[in-house]
Structure 1
Amino acid sequence: MTPGRTEAEVVLRLDGITKRFGALTANDAVSLTLRRGEVVALLGENGAGKTTLMNILFGHYVADAGEVEVFGQPLPPGNPRAALASGVGMVHQHFTLAGNLTVLDNIRLGTEGLWSRSYGGAREKVERLSRDFGLAVHPDAKVGRLSVGERQRVEILKALYRDARVLILDEPTAVLTPQESEALFATLRKATALGLSVIFISHKLHEVMAIADRCVVLRHGRVVGEVDTHATDKGALAALMVGGELSLPRAEAREPGAVLLRLEGVSTPGRGAAPGLQAVTLELRAGQITGLAGVSGNGQAALAEIVGGLALPASGRILVKDTPVTRWTPGEALARGVARIPEDRHHQGSIADFDLTENAVLEAYRTRFSQRGWMNWRAARGFAEEIISRYDVRCPGPSTRIRLLSGGNMQKLILGRAMAGGPKAVGPTIILANQPVRGLDVGAIAYVQGQLIAARDRGAAVLLISEDLDEIMGLSDVIHVMSEGRLSPAFARGTMAARDLGLWMAGQKFEDAHAA
């Protein structure tokens, strides 16, 4: 943003927004302005009020107090169509595209009939927007065949096609390679130079520092700081978000122990567009964090299912402590000390309408909390209370429905359940941590990562599957990359730059290695 912009250039103003849900105040007199050609980062812990504020802006919620102005005009409350018509667009973290349709049809979907007479005009407009904003994507390409970065371009083109002049980006780099993130930032710089204004929601503070002009920080529903990016740093922003000093943990190098689990030449069939594993060989060693990087949908889910006992290989074999496994089920994996932190805490890691006690004992109720078919609810409740206390799960108590918890507190309960170990409660020997900090704030991230490092230092083998390269490079002792079901060689800590990892993630290094 160019210094010295005037008040007349304010394109969005939220003034004194307050929203309550019963006794909970989600937004407390929040005020925020956005100027033409500016990128404002909206920061805060999980539960700080960011999502509620954006839902009010888009008309999904009606504020109890305050008002919203777009380009100087009041925005009618509770009217999503009015928000879109006023020039506000949003690109969600999880894309909403039809894979069987072309780029052009996806962009037009919901705005006009697919067979309307304006088809030629629509193509011209999309091609012009692609050129003007540097969003290279072919209008006739099937979306299902596009890379993740290309799909994000389509989402941005959708908003621009509807004449958005204010664009909200929610965790836009969560599933991008470093190269795709750089391309996105180049697009944003070009777009803001042409007058587009952007609200950038992210937990990645180094990206905030790279792209934002100003940062607005929410904590407990209130604005606790508003700073120019050039006048602050990542540490100061993190301190504003959590209310104190915070440093993310980094694992110190150490010698690994014995191989606790080994996959030898494991292959699995693909599922739809998702590739299967292609002759994957992987070792998980005691006292070592093995990082697995890769763009989402390249075989990580299939690998996690194999390690967690949810699937069997079509070929190849699994060995636990050098012993080939003949029977491999979720129960057998748990019995052999495998602990799971699933990728999707809502659908794979918990049951929404169960309370915290029931969710805490989900994986061990038959072996640790029941006898002759009768549940020992006193022991189960005590176990849940121990997790709540030890892992700082902020909730009213063990009878709380888990769906009422924030993402960070839900993840802490799942983490505590996993760290408690198998049937004999001796602690896990192998920890499958699949996207363990996705969508968490900096405070929760630091806590979860610290617990993984502590488990490694106690001798556990940790498989860390993550799309966040900062997390992979900061925590992992060795790093593999997965692309289209193929697994790269292992790279020791500090031996590979993020850019080279990005080339492996994009598949280029696999092709180079094959050609050699």
Structure 2
Amino acid sequence: MAKALVLKDITKRFPLVLANDHISLDLNWGEVLALVGENGAGKSTLMKIVYGLQPPDKGEMWVDGKPYRPKSPLDAIAHGIGMVHQHFMLVEPFTVLENLVLGLEPGSPLYLDLDEARKRATALMEELGFQVPLDERIENLPVGLQQRVEILKALYRQAKILILDEPTAVLTPQEAEELFRFLRAYVSKGNAAIFISHKLKEVLSVSDRVTVIRDGRVVGTVKTPETSLEELARMMVGREVVLRVEKGPAKPGEVVLEVEGLEAPPRLRGVSFFVRAGEIVGIAGVEGNGQTELVEALAGLRKYRGTVRYLGHPLPHLALKVREAGVSHIPEDRLARGLVLDFSVRENAILGDQHRPPFRGFLGFLDGKAMEHHARTLVETFDVRPRSTDLSARRFSGGNQQKIVVGRELLRGPRLLIAAQPTRGVDVGAIEFIHQRLVEARDQGLAVLLVSADLSEVISLSDRILVMYEGRIVGELTPEEAKEERLGLLMAGVPA
């Protein structure tokens, strides 16, 4: 029987980077193949080649035994390949049904006939065992349902090979388990799936085999029952990795941040809490339950009602004044709020502080020497690779982009750090590094407010955990009290 997908010697080179170096792998019908590797290892580039978004420089591909060289995603879809992207590719003002048929609109140029599409979608949902409101706008759906729409869209196009890129990043544990059940049922019907994730526990629970890529090359492929978390991490990074956060007990000091009755449209409905020096307070919750509004209000990026005191005084409402007061902010989206992608590392390293000494020099001009020294300190201290201060931020992998942001915010010497999704989309080695830096900063007296959709991160880093649901804090737990199942229930609004 022919294999579902075969890649042989796939090579892709960009300026200064060999993204894929003669990669060969295969996918069997009826299996889930996990693809793991560090940021910048070449996983995304490889899947873009498979899905027709980029051509390879060299190499061959086969789908079900037949030669395959797509020129666009339409070719991939025609060959039965679907992809669920990490950042959903949905048109938010459109309904679910309109998104399903987008690009394959039934009817005539003058009339969109959705009746047949509705019948097909309804039958498909019954077969899959999940329901999505077809007439609801995407913007009104929670992220878990939006992901179902992405999957439904791929299967509506009759995908027999499904590629899922970081599919559980915004899901509760219960939603993730539903996804895994779907995947197992999907491949049991003779289909095949490629599962890309940085969460190695999930990789081991859902996949049949795991292919590890490092520096653009395949390090090896192992059967899931014959490997372990430690072995996969070692294969990914090329060294032993500490998979647990090593930290001693917190030694809390004075209250640095005090919040009372904070409200911010559209979702934050009145929260109260405090953060002390020398502790990490974690906020757990499914995205879309007020965390973004909370972070942006505290960072001076959104208007709010309520009381916020910083070191006993009202916190300014303007982002620039908040930074000048000694508050640092790691934004949840490093590309939208954390970096200017066309700026160099040297320029990104001083964003938000460019008007202050030592970077503001004679007659208000930027001091190039001070900028270079600061950027060099950042790339060395936070292990940014490559070690260039001249390269633009867009030339770095996601993990190294995140290190630039984290390094910039910590090197400022803040009293309070608001860290939103500090390790989103980064590999196990970068996660280990960023976690160590956060714990070190806590031990030096920094107050840290951690907002993360990754429950293992919240549990392992936090000294106290607050759970948010529908814009309110619905529970407070210690790390010892917090189990993923209990937290997951609270995140879903179920008392636990």
TM-score in terms of structure 2 length? 0.95
SS of the residue 1:15 aligns to:
strand
Match of 2:198 among 187, 203, 228: 203
- Name the aligned partner's letter for residue 273 of structure 2: L
In structure 1, the residue matched to 2:491 is: 505
Q: Which amino acid aligns with 1:284?
A: V
Distance of aligned partners of 1:269 and 1:137 in 2 relative to their CA distance in 1, 3 Å threshold: closer
The question of whether the paired residues in 2 share the 8 Å contact of 1:214 and 1:227 is answered with yes
CA–CA separation in structure 2 for the residues paired with 1:141 and 1:117: 18
Aligned mates of 1:65, 1:88 — CA distance in 2: 21
Give the corresponding residue for 1:266.
262
Residue among 468, 471, 477 paired with 1:482: 468
Give the one of 144, 156, 161 matched to 1:161. Answer: 156
Deviations for 1:79-135, whole angstroms, at most 9, x for unmatched residues?
Answer: 332211010000111212233433323212211236768644332322222122222
Distance in 2 between the 1:365 and 1:112 partners? 50
Q: Distance in 2 between matches of 1:396 and 1:452?
A: 22
Aligned to 1:65: 58
The more displaced of 128-137 and 377-386 is 128-137
Structure 2 counterpart of 1:269, which letter? P
Q: Quote the offset at 1:166 in angstroms.
A: 0.2
The residue aligned with 2:91 is 98
1:216-253 deviations in Å (ceiling 9; x for gaps): 00001100010000000111000000001101324333
- Residue 141 of structure 2 corresponds to residue 185 of structure 1: no
Q: After TM superposition, list the pairs within 5 Å mapping 1:2-21 onto structure 2.
A: 8-21=1-14
How far apart, CA to CA, are the structure 2 residues paired with 1:384 and 1:504? 42
| Identity over aligned pairs, percent | 45
Once the two structures are superposed, what CA deviation does each residue of 1:264-289 show, in whole Å capped at 9, x if it has no partner?
1111232xxxx2x2121120111111
User: Structure 2: any 5+ residue segments left out of the alignment?
Assistant: none
Which residue in 1 is equivalent to 2:337? 348
Q: Normalising by structure 1, what TM-score?
A: 0.91
Instruction: Give the secondary-structure state (helix, strand or coil) at the position aligned to 2:281.
Output: strand
Residue 401 of structure 1: how far off its partner (Å) = 1.4
User: Which runs of 5 or more structure 1 residues have no equivalent in the other structure?
Assistant: 1-7, 422-426
SS at 2:434's partner residue? helix
What amino acid does structure 2 have at the position aligned with 1:78? K
- SS across alignment from 1:101: coil
Query: SS at 2:336's partner residue?
Result: coil
Residues 103-182 of structure 1 mapped to structure 2, 5 A cutoff = 103-113=96-106, 119-182=114-177
1:393 aligns with 2:389: no
Name the aligned partner's letter for residue 34 of structure 1. Answer: L
- SS of equivalent to 1:363: coil
Give the 3 Å change call, closer, same or farther, for CA 99–411 of structure 1 in structure 2: closer
Offset at residue 488 of structure 1 (A) = 2.6
2:434 counterpart letter in structure 1: V
Q: 1:323 aligns with which of 313, 332, 338?
A: 313
Task: Tell whether 2:398 aligns with 1:407.
Answer: yes
Offset of residue 193 of structure 1 = 1.1
* AA of the residue aligned to 2:385: R
CA contact (8 A) 1:105 1:114 kept: no
Worse overlay, 148-157 or 431-440: 148-157
Whole-Å Cα distance in 1 between the matches of residues 131 and 460 of structure 2?
Answer: 33
Matches of 2:141 and 2:377 in 1, distance apart? 47
Deviates more, 1:223-232 or 1:55-64: 55-64
Deviation string 1:125-146 (CA, Å, 9 cap, x unpaired) is 2222212222222433443333
> Is 1:51 aligned to residue 50 of structure 2?
no
1:4 equivalent in structure 2: none
Report the Cα offset of residue 310 of structure 1. Answer: 2.2
Farther-moved stretch of structure 1 (300-309 vs 193-202): 300-309
The worse-fitting range, judged by mean Cα deviation, of 235-244 and 386-395 is 386-395
Q: Deviations over 1:150-196 (max 9, x none)?
A: 22111111111111000000000000011100111111111111112
1:135/1:187 contact within 8 Å kept: no
How many residues align? The count is 491
Residues 430 and 159 (structure 1), Cα distance of their counterparts in 2 relative to 1, 3 Å cut = same
Instruction: State the alpha-carbon separation in 1 of the partners of residues 404 and 30 from structure 2.
Output: 42
1:287 equivalent in alignment to 2:278? yes
The aligned counterpart of 1:41 is 34
Q: 1:403 to 1:98 in 2, by over 3 A?
A: closer
Corresponding letter in the other structure for 1:492: T
CA contact (8 A) 2:468 2:475 kept: no
* Letter of the structure 1 residue corresponding to residue 419 of structure 2: A
Segments of 4+ moved more than 4 angstroms: 114-118
Distance 1:404 1:434 in 2: 23
Deviates more, 1:131-140 or 1:452-461: 131-140
Please state whether the residue corresponding to 2:456 is helix, strand or coil. helix
- Cα distance, 1:141–1:359 mapped onto 2, change above 3 Å: closer
Matching of residue 469 in structure 1 with residue 455 in structure 2: yes
Asked if 1:332 is matched to 2:325, the reply is: no
